Amino acid sequence: MSGAPPAAPGAAVGLLAGEGRLPVVLAAAMRAQGRRVICAQMAGEPGRLPDLADVYAALDLGALQDLLRFWQQHAVREVVVAGRFNRAALAQPQPGDDFARARLRQIDDRRDQSVMDMFAQVLAQGGMRVLAQTAFAPHLLAEPGLLAGPPPSEAERRDVELGLPIARLLAGQDVGQTVVLKDGAILAAEAAEGTDATIRRGGSMARGAVVVKVSRPHQDPRFDLPTVGPETIESMDAVGARLLAVEARRTIILDRDRLAAAAAAAAITVLAVEAQPLLAAPLGTAARQAT
């Protein structure tokens, strides 16, 4: 997948940060490539972000007008979105500021991709483009094969093969990215609660469960790439889940060495299955709905 940023050392790049470790990892990668990081955090704890960013601001979730002014003030022309955002906030009657509410009223639904498409259009009107999440760190994408832990058993492989199309169907409808299953029985499917909560909910029903996490069939590389890390392994170990399957070239692996060590210690298998590489440019909304 292309999507690497142009060689422009010193140029400003906007980082919209949500919850989790990914914003910190990407901010460090941007700095390592000589870019000025203009970070706006709308969810999660600051952590190291204020130190990594050249300019840092904490904004209310959905304060779209403040965000535009902030980035325009610092000559931002490229933006990366990283981290988790509270989907439930979009279900509130009056989410965001007046400008955000007006734009939300113009879209048909509040599914993740619809909202992100609207966000990208607003930025484009302001002279900014959204880059792929891995534009500054392509090495984070999983390569196919066994990533950690023991080889999967035949029963686990069967569960992976069953879980993949189900998870992809749910992801394609913006329901969630993860299913948990055991011996052909679906124990849990992710919705708004997030992957770790889904793992704990489903894995608590049967020890030795298999976790399958996927991207949307027509995944927009700019938003919401599946991401796993040591915390994912911790959630699996807590309920005795035994295998994590992700899609190669479509899944971000955070803290790979720590993940591998945690998986080995817990005898948890981490497997990256073959999948189509991400598209260099996202399909339009009409094209996605037609498939």
Give the pair of three-digit tokens for residue 86: 């509270």
pLDDT given for residue 92 in this prediction: 60
Domain check: are 199 and 114 in the same one?
no
Query: The sheet that has 243-247: what strands, in order across it?
Result: 145-148, 269-273, 243-247, 210-213, 178-182, 185-189
pLDDT given for residue 85 in this prediction: 85
Domain check: are 163 and 92 in the same one?
no
Show pLDDT as tens, one digit a residue, over the chain (291 residues): 445 555 466 899 999 999 999 999 999 999 999 999 999 999 989 999 999 999 999 998 888 899 999 999 999 999 999 998 876 665 565 566 677 677 777 777 767 777 888 888 889 988 999 999 999 999 999 999 999 999 999 999 999 999 999 999 999 998 999 999 999 999 999 988 899 999 999 999 999 999 999 999 989 999 999 999 999 999 999 999 999 999 999 999 999 999 999 999 999 999 999 998 887 644 444 333 333
pTM score, two decimals?
Answer: 0.86
List the domain range (segments joined by +) for residue 20: 12-130
Rounded Cα distance between 185 and 203, Å, is 12
Give the pair of three-digit tokens for residue 114: 């619809």
Alpha-helical (H) ranges within 63-180 are 64-73, 98-104, 112-125, 154-172
Please give the tally of structural domains in the chain: 2
Domain check: are 203 and 238 in the same one?
yes
Give the pair of three-digit tokens for residue 36: 């000025």
pLDDT given for residue 285 in this prediction: 41
Task: Identify whether 155 is part of a domain.
Answer: yes
Domain check: are 115 and 159 in the same one?
no
Rounded Cα distance between 289 and 283, Å, is 10
pLDDT given for residue 280 in this prediction: 63
| Residue 121 belongs to domain with CATH number | 3.40.50.20
Domain check: are 18 and 126 in the same one?
yes
Task: Identify whether 250 is part of a domain.
Answer: yes
Rounded Cα distance between 288 and 291, Å, is 6
| Residue 172 belongs to domain with CATH number | 3.40.140.80
Rounded Cα distance between 189 and 175, Å, is 9
